[in-house]
Amino acid sequence: MKAITRMLEEWMKCKKVVTLNQAPSLREKSILLVKMMQYVEKRFPDDNELNAQFLELVNYVYTDKHLKTTELTSKLEPAFLAGLRCSQPHIRAKFFKVFDESMQRRLHDRLLYIVCSQNWDAIGPHYWIKQCIELLLITAAPDGGIEMSHESSILPSITSVINCADKQKKEEFNRHQFQKPNFPEPMENKDEVLDVDLTNVDSNPTVEEKPIIREETIKMIKKHYEFIQVSRNVTTDQFLLAAAQLCHMDTNLAEHVWLSLFPKLWAILEEDQHSALVQEILPFITSGTHIIQKDCHPSAINTFVEALCRCNPPIQMAPPLMKYIGKSHNLWHRMALGLEQMAFDPNSISKVSNPASCYEFEGEQSKTVNINICINKSWVHITKFQGIAGFFG
């Protein structure tokens, strides 16, 4: 397979007219490439070298100025998505670069792309929330500085303890006051870890007054200054890139990040952007293409729906639609909670302005009955599943 892949790569990358006349046509090469796409991932999922070799060829198709305009790119979409979820970071980065450059870096456009344009059916049971996180995080301003979210975790500066000392200690420090040391120039990048030697520090120190040693104090302040300079150069894009890569490594972390990130992104969107997204989100979560995620844990579509339920302003769903989602994706508990809130708190249902609402003849009493019926059916299924689980558990 490696020899066939290497031979096909030579054919695809060949630009000489003489060699092109002897090589297979583009249609024949496309057929062979699609066949290999179906064969490599299924038969050799653990062969990292073969998969890397094949994915490099697929990436070449998407980056070549002549090949990327052909229909071959649409045929190789499953292979492209396989590159986006590849376990090798350098290959995954190449595919994401192509993915990122294919659309504008605007939050609303990328959310629409996730729910409207991208066919997640081709990615199979993979947890595609990881790709969504990376797609959205890169839209953040890249040059922003990193700040602590809570000031309680910020440590005071080294010299701040002088103000807390008694009068005698302040006078002693003033007697040993030194001139401003020659600090090093600010560093752009420094990968080495700045550690303080704590080998001589006793775990249970005794209270003992020691004279202030000028040289050790200057050395400690210099190290603190270097650490501050290195931290000052850490920007938003470096932090978010590292966070996205960690999400690829840990599915539970990706789930936690999405549940925290999406409601915050939803809150900063405009009202017209909310309306445009809701029109695409509801058909997206009820699409039959996500059935393959039903038996996955955690499920990408379940995480997506859970994030929708945490949004403020909330995303309204019709009771029959909520019952269908609960049945199709085993989300009975979440949908039952939403239906109960609608039944006991009618004010939670926002009045959405819809031009077609004038043709709806369903009264408020009928809507309440419909909600109660859906709640009843949801709890019947929950009770049945819990009884089965308890019997076989």
What is the residue-level pLDDT of the chain in tens, covering all 393 positions?
Answer: 888 888 888 888 877 665 656 677 778 888 888 888 888 878 887 888 888 899 999 999 999 888 888 888 888 888 899 999 998 999 999 999 999 999 999 999 999 999 998 888 888 889 999 999 999 999 988 887 777 777 776 777 666 777 777 777 777 767 665 545 554 554 444 444 445 455 555 555 554 555 556 678 778 878 888 888 888 888 888 889 999 999 999 999 999 999 999 999 999 999 999 999 999 999 999 888 888 888 888 899 999 999 998 998 788 888 888 888 888 888 877 887 877 777 777 665 554 444 444 444 454 555 665 666 666 666 666 666 555 554 444
Q: How far apart are CA 269 and CA 286, in angstroms?
A: 23
Domain boundaries of the chain, sorted by first residue: 2-102, 319-349+362-393
| Residue whose pair of structure tokens reads 């007054």 in the numeric block | 209
Q: State yes or no: cis peptide before 298, omega within 30 of 0.
A: yes
Q: What are phi and psi of 235, to 5 degrees?
A: -105, 175
Quote the pLDDT of residue 359: 41
Quote the pLDDT of residue 351: 46
Q: What angle do CA 292, 295, 296 make, to 5 degrees?
A: 85
Quote the pLDDT of residue 211: 57
Quote the pLDDT of residue 347: 61
Quote the pLDDT of residue 190: 46
Residues 32, 9 contacting (CB under 8 angstroms): no
Quote the pLDDT of residue 322: 84
pTM given for the model: 0.74
Quote the pLDDT of residue 334: 83
Closest CA to 95 of 66, 64, 55, 123: 55
Quote the pLDDT of residue 243: 92
Quote the pLDDT of residue 356: 42
Quote the pLDDT of residue 380: 67
Q: How far apart are CA 296 and CA 265, in angstroms?
A: 26
Q: How far apart are CA 79 and CA 53, in angstroms?
A: 12
Quote the pLDDT of residue 218: 77
State whether residue 187 is helix, strand or coil.
coil
Q: How far apart are CA 393 and CA 386, in angstroms?
A: 10
Quote the pLDDT of residue 245: 94
